Amino acid sequence: MHMNASARAPHLVAALDLSRVRRALDLGGGSGAYAMAFARAVPGLVVEIVDTPDVVRLTRRYVAEAGLQDRVTARAGDLRAGEYGSGYDLALLSAVCHMLGADENADLVRRAARALAPGGRLVIHDYVLEPDRTSPRPAAIFAVNMLVNTELGGNEPRTTT
């Protein structure tokens, strides 16, 4: 996953105007590939990653190997609960939303938005299906994977009767 994210991260960075971003939050940042790409692209940019304790141990190793530990930090946290801090110019949700159901995503987006400074931006980077839920093909195949391997991800919200 780190190799794939490292290959995709520069493309996302190139697509964004980061000229006013000095402090960023990467929610569910995994290995730190996107956070490190942001830090490399913008001198002085500081990025904080939030992920599970097991992942954060790996994240810190990747960040140290890249020599970016002075500008990219990682802390353990639960994306599904609590607040993330405040004053961020940018919050990134990359490859996170596909794991959650609609209600969880709405809550996640609200809490991520509260972490932003005035004028800050929330960036959601993920697979997106067309309304027919069958295309584009890579997203549809990925949605099946999420349907099989997560409780709500890649599927419509479940209802009870």
Q: What are the residue numbers of the active site?
A: 98
- Which secondary structure element, helix H or strand E, spans residue 59, and what is its range? helix 53-66
- The residues, any chain, with a CB within 8 Å of residue 84's CB and separated by 6 or more, are 25, 27, 50, 77, 91, 111, 112, 114, 115
- Which secondary structure element, helix H or strand E, spans residue 13, and what is its range? helix 2-15
Residue 135, judged by CB atoms within 10 A of its CB (0-12, 13-18, 19+), counts as exposed
